[in-house]
Amino acid sequence: MSKNQVSRRQFLSYTLTGVGGFMAAGMLMPMVRFAVDPVLQAKAESDFIPTPQKVSEITEVPTRVDFKFEQQDAWYTSEVTGTAWVYLDDKGEIVALSPVCKHLGCVVDWNTDKANPDKFYCPCHGGLYTKDGTNVPGTPPVAPLDVYPYKEKDGFLYLGKAKPKKEA
C-alpha cells in the first residue's frame, strides 16, 4: 500500500466530517436566516412597484390603476395584478388607496352606487367609504381602506405595500 493512499479509516472520517459539516450547515443556515430575516424583510418592504400611471395625469377623480408584480406564495412565484384608487386630494397631494374592502375583502368601486354618489362602494354587503377612504358608520366595514405609500420616479407612480391608515 503506498503512503498516499487513503486508508479505510481516513476515508470514513473524511466523509463523516464532510457529511456532518453539511448537516451542521443545514441546521445553522435557517437559524442565521431567522436572525437576519427582519433585516431582509425591511428591505423587501421598501420595494416600490412601478405602475403605468403618469404622475402628471393624476386628477381629483379617483382612477383605477392596475399594476403587475411577482408574488411569492410559499414555494411558488406567480404574477399577480394589484389595483389602487389614485387621485389628488384638496392639498394637491397624491392619495393611493387599496381597493380591498376592510369587511371581508371584496373589491370596492368608486361612485358606482347611485344612492351614494362620490363614495367608494363595496358591492358585496353595501360597504361605503368616503373619498379619503374613511369607512361610513352603519355599513359593515369597521376600518378605513388601506393606504399605499408612493413615490414618483421618471414621471411615473410607484407604489409600496398598502398599510392600514393611521388614526388621524
Partner 1 sequence: MKWNPQDIDMFLQSKEYVDTAVLPLLPVAISKDTKQAASMTEFISLLSMQLERQFRGRLLLLPGYSYIKTESIDKLLGDLKVWERELLENGFKHVLFLTSDSNWKAVENQLEGELIWMPSLPLVHMDEKNRNSLLEDQVKQLMNLFLQKWQSAD
Strand locations in 55-133 (E): 63-73, 76-88, 94-97, 109-110, 120-122, 127-129
Dist. CA 104–CA 118, nearest whole Å? 22
97 binds, among ligand FES, partner 1, none (CB under 5 to 8 A by kind): none
Dist. CA 42–CA 48, nearest whole Å? 12
The verdict on 122 binding partner 1 (CB under 8 A) reads yes
Could you tell me the smallest distance in angstroms from the CB atom of residue 41 to partner 1?
20
Contact string (CB under 8 A) for partner 1, positions 127-146, x = contact: -------------x------
Name residue, grid cell 493512499: 5
- By CB under 8 A, the residues from 64 to 93 that bind partner 1 are none
Specify the 3-state DSSP secondary structure of 91: coil
- By CB under 6 A, the residues from 90 to 109 that bind ligand FES are 101, 103-106
- By CB under 8 A, the residues from 93 to 112 that bind partner 1 are 101, 103-107
Dist. CA 156–CA 16, nearest whole Å? 57
# residues near ligand FES by CB under 6 A: 11
* Enclosing H/E stretch for 151: strand 150-153
Dist. CA 28–CA 39, nearest whole Å? 18
- By CB under 6 A, the residues from 109 to 168 that bind ligand FES are 122, 124-125, 127, 140-141
107 binds, among partner 1, ligand FES, none (CB under 5 to 8 A by kind): partner 1
Q: Provide the binding-site residues for ligand FES, judged by CB under 6 A.
A: 101, 103-106, 122, 124-125, 127, 140-141
Q: Provide the binding-site residues for partner 1, judged by CB under 8 A.
A: 101, 103-107, 122-125, 140
